[in-house]
Structure 1
Amino acid sequence: MTGLLNVVDVEATCWDGNPPPGQSNEIIEIGLTVVDLGSGTRVSRHRILVRPQRSRVSAFCTGLTGLTQEEVDTGIDFAEACRVLATEHSAGSRPWASWGDYDRNQFTRQCRATNTRYPFGQVHTNAKVAFTAAHGLRRRPGMAQALDVAGLPLEGRHHSGEDDAWNIAALILHLHDRDAWPTAGG
């Protein structure tokens, strides 16, 4: 194993309440930070904007993520984003992690709905579960709360996929430094 781990965080279309008729959550940003567990460093960060096909970016979503419909309209379609993950980021062969299961489940749902090949391999680690266990917490914290617990700063904008992946990578390295990162997941 090379010791490289893909840390992924997605942002998706969202609303204050239920989606409008005919719309559903779709990934609009994929943030990816590559972590070298061997050297204990974050080696690269990436942002893939994804153009939604079955929904539009709401004002609520813009307020949360900072993303606008005009910005995501410049992105690539979801199938192409999955190809980029597979070809440029070794998503099918490299272990990966996310904060919670939302990202993994959203990819599964959207791949199924669009008949797109799932880009990731089988080795996924839920970093939220690992962090909760390592710190003996009763409840699973959100990413920003976990950064506080770990004594780490929030870098960038919360709910930016690129920035959140970068921050989650810092939490994973924090766990790795404590010998609390599961070896099966990276």
Structure 2
Amino acid sequence: MKTTDTILIIDLEATCWDGRPPRGQESEIIEIGVCMMDVKTGKISQNEGILVKPQYSSVSPFCTELTSITQKMLDEEGILLEDALDILRAEYDSEELTWASYGNYDLNMLQSQSRRFNVDYPLGDHHINVKTLFGELHPGIRKSVGMSRALGELNIPLEGTHHRGVDDAKNIAKILYWCLQNS
């Protein structure tokens, strides 16, 4: 790990559909859930959800049902992806910290969206895949499990709204803290 005191936790939400996207639309980041976790204590700080206005898609009813994010919310409160990534750099020192996500989806999506929008990738090279780490450390888990099931296995209640980045980032931090204590 690059850092030892604090880890940046990121959870993305993206436009999605029940089936294939409508013609001309593609999956885009609509929320960057973020928090900082103190490695020694597990204390979570600086928790927020940065809403991102999609440029090539719109929020479907399926997506709203899953995430609780509406197109109206993004139209009124969302910012451009480039500005959201600037927030990560300026307020979270994202290029310098070790960062973590649950699985590789967030890593791959941030890389592809950075290329798609021709913006600098906002994170450092040191990434922790909490999903893989949990699977390696938790007895009785033979395959990777979703975040909600991992919390259940640890008897940690899911806090907030599942599939909201602002809430899932905190839930991922709790799983990561357990992993660090048990590795």
Q: Could you tell me the TM-score, scaled by structure 1's length? A: 0.94
The answer to whether the 8 Å contact 1:9/1:32 transfers is yes
Amino acid at match of 2:179: L
* Residue 100 (structure 1) aligned with residue 84 (structure 2): no
Amino acid at match of 2:98: P
Match runs of 1:162-177 below 5 Å: 162-177=166-181
* Residue 62 (structure 1) aligned with residue 77 (structure 2): no
User: How many Å separate the matches in 2 of 1:174 and 1:143?
Assistant: 13
The answer to whether the 8 Å contact 2:9/2:34 transfers is yes
Q: Deviations over 1:145-170 (max 9, x none)?
A: 00011110000110010100010001
User: How many Å separate the matches in 2 of 1:165 and 1:38?
Assistant: 18
Q: Alignment partner of 1:105: what SS? A: helix
Q: How far off is 1:72 after superposition?
A: 1.0
User: How many Å separate the matches in 2 of 1:134 and 1:86?
Assistant: 31
User: How many Å separate the matches in 1 of 2:119 and 2:136?
Assistant: 34
Q: Alignment partner of 2:84: what SS? A: helix
Which aligned segments of 4 or more residues in structure 1 are displaced greater than 4 angstroms? none
Match runs of 1:9-158 below 5 Å: 9-73=11-75, 74-136=77-139, 137-158=141-162
User: How many Å separate the matches in 2 of 1:176 and 1:2?
Assistant: 11
Q: How far off is 1:108 after superposition?
A: 0.7
The answer to whether the 8 Å contact 2:148/2:158 transfers is yes
What is residue 160 of structure 1 aligned with on the other side? 164
Unpaired stretches in structure 2, ≥5 consecutive residues: none
User: How many Å separate the matches in 2 of 1:40 and 1:125?
Assistant: 16
Q: How far off is 1:2 after superposition?
A: 5.3
Q: Could you tell me the TM-score, scaled by structure 2's length? A: 0.95
Unpaired stretches in structure 1, ≥5 consecutive residues: 181-186
What is residue 183 of structure 1 aligned with on the other side? none
The answer to whether the 8 Å contact 2:42/2:174 transfers is no
User: How many Å separate the matches in 2 of 1:113 and 1:132?
Assistant: 32
User: How many Å separate the matches in 2 of 1:95 and 1:69?
Assistant: 32
Q: How far off is 1:46 after superposition?
A: 1.3
The answer to whether the 8 Å contact 1:41/1:173 transfers is no
